[in-house]
């Protein structure tokens, strides 16, 4: 019996020794600067969300959080880098474009559900129908009449093929029968530059990217694509109020990490980011760009992720949307 007891103790010691480094690594994390990847160019909504979180997350974790912009391929270049990372120090500020839309439009180099894990939901931002100031239409109905009178002569900008801006425009075209040409850009920032400059005339841009330009008078807002009016733009009607029901679109944002990231580290990021989102100055910063900050548990975010994938799959199929 004594021999068996000694053997059991020895086996237990070996198990503890084997698990000890992993536990210690989790407890000491982070041990180096973290990367928060962003799939769009600086100046866009995803970038704004990422920086609002990163500015406060670094000090809370005791390490610098570096925001890295990797624009392109409907925000999936950043997601691809995160999916293939294995050091538990890489995150991606995910957006619905990459995590609920692109899987149904693009051939990805990673599995959206297998290789990445939803960790913390950050917020949602409605899209807004805006026009260049030289466009004579001042209401949605005036714009529809203008576009029907000049089919194919007007362009709309998006942050890329398959983006929420692109899909919102396709929904609008389907609902109204107008013809407008898609001009994709590598992010919202450059799209807004050309919209203000008149190279394109229309956009269904996310509030975070366009509200500053609306308030400064550089572009004109005609409708918000949400169920209720946006508090930042109380005088701008919803699309339904403007006579085009059923055209609703919002971009949502959340942090994803590689699926191999230890659960304890995922919980730490989840808890720290939610604490940051609860701070009055952070909420004010995000609400100023049109974001609705609605906390979720990690489990709720995972269910939301799956539901949005199903919703967009149905929209894309119904409206025959492609990136070709």
Query: What are the 10-residue block averages of pLDDT along the chain, 324 residues in total?
Result: 45 43 66 96 85 96 97 90 94 95 94 96 95 98 98 92 89 95 89 96 92 95 94 96 95 96 97 98 90 93 96 90 79
**pLDDT at site 54:** 97
**pLDDT at site 81:** 96
Give CA–CA dist 124/172, Å, rounded.
20
What does the radius of gyration of the chain's CA atoms come to, in whole angstroms?
22
Which are the contacts of 300, defined by CB distance < 8 A and separation ≥ 6? 121
State if pTM tops 0.85. no
Report residue 228 as tokens.
């209720």
**pLDDT at site 108:** 95
Domains and CATH numbers, the chain: 33-125+251-318 (3.40.190.150), 133-224 (3.40.190.10)
3 state DSSP class of 18? helix
Strand 202-206 with 181-184, pairing: unpaired
- Chain centre distance of CA 210: 15
Report residue 268 as tokens.
């730490």
Q: How far is CA 46 from CA 11, 125, 166, 221, in A?
A: 50, 10, 16, 21
**pLDDT at site 25:** 58
């Amino acid at each position: 019996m004594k021999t068996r007891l000694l053997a059991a103790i020895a086996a237990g010691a070996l198990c503890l020794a084997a698990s000890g480094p992993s536990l210690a690594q989790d407890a000491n994390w982070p041990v180096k600067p973290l990367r928060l990847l962003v799939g769009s160019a600086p100046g866009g909504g995803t970038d704004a969300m990422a920086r609002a979180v990163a500015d406060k997350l670094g000090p809370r974790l005791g390490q610098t959080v570096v925001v890295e912009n990797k624009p392109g391929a409907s925000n999936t270049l950043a997601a691809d880098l995160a999916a293939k990372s294995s050091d538990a120090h890489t995150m991606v500020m995910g957006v619905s474009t990459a995590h609920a839309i692109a899987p149904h439009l693009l051939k990805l180099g990673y599995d959206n559900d297998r290789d990445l894990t939803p960790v913390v939901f950050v917020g949602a931002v409605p899209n807004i129908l805006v026009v260049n100031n030289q466009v004579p239409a001042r209401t949605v109905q005036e714009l529809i009449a203008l576009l029907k009178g000049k089919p194919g002569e007007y362009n709309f900008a998006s942050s890329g093929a398959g983006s929420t801006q692109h899909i919102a425009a396709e929904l609008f075209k389907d609902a109204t029968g107008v013809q407008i040409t898609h001009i994709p850009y590598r992010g919202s920032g450059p799209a807004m530059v050309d919209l203000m400059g008149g190279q394109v005339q229309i956009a269904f841009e996310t509030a975070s990217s366009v509200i500053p330009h609306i308030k400064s008078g550089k572009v004109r807002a005609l409708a918000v694509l949400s169920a209720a009016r946006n508090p930042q733009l109380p005088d701008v009607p919803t699309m339904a109020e403007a006579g085009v029901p059923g055209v609703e679109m919002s971009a949502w944002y959340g942090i994803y990490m590689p699926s191999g990231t230890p659960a304890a580290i995922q919980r730490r990021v989840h808890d720290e980011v939610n604490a940051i989102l609860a701070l009055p100055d952070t909420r004010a910063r995000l609400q100023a760009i049109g974001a609705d900050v609605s906390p979720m548990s990690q489990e709720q975010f995972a269910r939301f992720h799956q539901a949005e994938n199903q919703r967009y799959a149905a929209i894309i199929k119904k409206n025959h949307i492609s990136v070709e």
